Amino acid sequence: MSEVKTISGRGIPLKGNDIDTDRIIPARFLRCVTFDGLGEQVFADDRQQTNGEHPFDQPQYQGANILIANGNFGCGSSREHAPQALLRWGIQTIIGESFAEIFLGNCVALGIPCVIATPKIIAQLQAKLTESPKTTISVNLENKEVRCDDLTVPVQIGEGIRQMFLTGKWDSCGQLTANAEQVKTTAANLPYIAWAS
């Protein structure tokens, strides 16, 4: 189980409210057996329509790992493929005005913290990263703050989710693996499970 306390790197500004999961990863890419290769297709239709001007295509944002989004990010269908595509492109955390609930839950399950900031703060961060794409940005879950150059701003995250990241308990598979013997002991005592070793 891995704790997530601070994520640092470079940011990528993505402007617009109500960016839904169909835009994050179009439906035609959902037929995959694994999530491999989804990162290459993130925002495929939006990127095609903007002819290389989409932030995910612009050279100055390649290698960025912190996404700055606006309101209701990840709305629409509940597809897990959307955060999987972002993760496989390289996104490790998202700062936004608000997030769709199921998208947020899917991000937590993958170890991607989503923190909330006011529209004013989001606009400031997006402006800074547009002006200086190489600026280092850091999301601190312990202090609930974001630092970007000389700007330090507060962010919000649900306390239960925050504790899951700080303690490593966001990783449910990791918890099961780490406690395999306890799981076997519990399963062996359940009358409706025939546990085979």
What percent of the chain stands above pLDDT 90? 74
Q: Across all residues in the chain, what is the average pLDDT?
A: 91
**What are the residue boundaries of the structural domains of the chain, listed by start?**
6-171
Q: Which CATH class is domain 6-171?
A: alpha beta
What number is the average pLDDT over the span 144-170? 95
State the Cα–Cα distance between residues 125 and 147, nearest whole angstrom.
9
**DSSP code at position 91:** -
State the Cα–Cα distance between residues 5 and 109, nearest whole angstrom.
16
Q: CB of 155 within 8 A of CB of 139?
A: yes
Residues β-bridged to residue 99: 73
State the Cα–Cα distance between residues 85 and 25, nearest whole angstrom.
7
Least confident stretch, 32-36, 55-59, 193-197? 193-197
State the Cα–Cα distance between residues 96 and 22, nearest whole angstrom.
18
- Alpha-carbon distance values, 154 to 11, 150, 176, 184 (Å): 17, 14, 34, 43
- Alpha-carbon distance values, 40 to 56, 101, 196 (Å): 10, 25, 41
Is the predicted pLDDT of residue 182 greater than 60, yes or no?
yes
The segment with the largest mean pLDDT, out of 28-37, 58-67, 166-175, is: 58-67
